[in-house]
């Protein structure tokens, strides 16, 4: 984890990239903050090197892509093994995201995509073989995300 204080420009960059990284050019951010585009590019590189920006991801509508079974599988993992199991689970074919949750039970959330019930059954078996106990499965209908308001520029 980065140990760095973020100034207003850093926070504005983070908010803009979280809002829509694809449409938000360095020039647009620079104009908004009255700095040079090269300054914004340097700040982005510094935020990446500091581990604050860890990647860029496409938001995918799996249903529109023909995958009706976008599912959240809630699992239990022994606390000492939670991180290892989560890292191994993300390597299973069909798993698109894994979140470790800071609770005793239902502490690993596995987001999966499958084309049919057989895919989901296979993924469940593989999670079980890793040592994760499947607690619940829910089909995801929609997901809504928003940039963290704490990064928004003060008006």
Could you name the CATH architecture of 69-139?
A: 2-Layer Sandwich (3.30)
pLDDT digits (tens, 9 = 90+) for 43-82: 999 999 999 999 888 888 888 888 889 999 999 999 999 9
pLDDT higher than threshold 50 for residue 8: yes
Return the sign of the alpha-carbon dihedral for residues 45, 49, 50, 53: positive
Question: Residue 83's pLDDT is what?
Answer: 96
Tokens of 85: 């199991």
pTM confidence score = 0.80
Considering Cα of 18, then 20, then 25, then 28, what sign does the dihedral take? negative
Nearest to 153 by CA among 2, 3, 46, 6: 6
Confidence of residue 3 (pLDDT cuts 50, 70, 90): low
1: number of CA atoms within 13 Å, CB side? Answer: 2
**pLDDT tens for each residue of 103-116:** 888 999 999 999 88
Q: Torsion over CA of 149, 153, 154 and 155, rounded to 10 degrees? A: -110
Residue ranges per structural domain of the chain: 8-57, 69-139
User: Which pLDDT band, with edges at 50, 70 and 90, does 2 fall under?
Assistant: very low
Residue 152 has pLDDT above 80, yes or no: yes
For 8-57, give the CATH class. mainly alpha
């Amino acid at each position: 984890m980065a140990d760095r204080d973020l100034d207003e420009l850093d926070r504005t960059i983070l908010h803009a990239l979280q809002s829509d990284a694809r449409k938000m050019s360095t020039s647009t951010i620079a104009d908004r903050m009255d700095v040079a585009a090269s300054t914004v590019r340097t700040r982005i590189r510094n935020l990446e090197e500091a581990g604050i920006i860890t990647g860029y991801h496409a938001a995918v509508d799996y249903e529109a892509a023909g995958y009706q079974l976008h599912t959240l599988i809630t699992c239990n993992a022994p606390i000492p093994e939670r991180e290892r199991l989560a890292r191994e689970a993300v390597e299973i074919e069909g798993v698109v995201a894994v979140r470790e949750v800071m609770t005793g039970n239902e502490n690993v959330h596995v987001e999966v995509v499958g084309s049919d019930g057989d895919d989901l059954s296979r993924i469940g078996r593989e999670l079980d073989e890793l040592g994760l106990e499947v607690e619940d499965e829910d089909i995801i209908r929609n997901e809504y995300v928003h940039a963290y308001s704490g990064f928004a520029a003060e008006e």
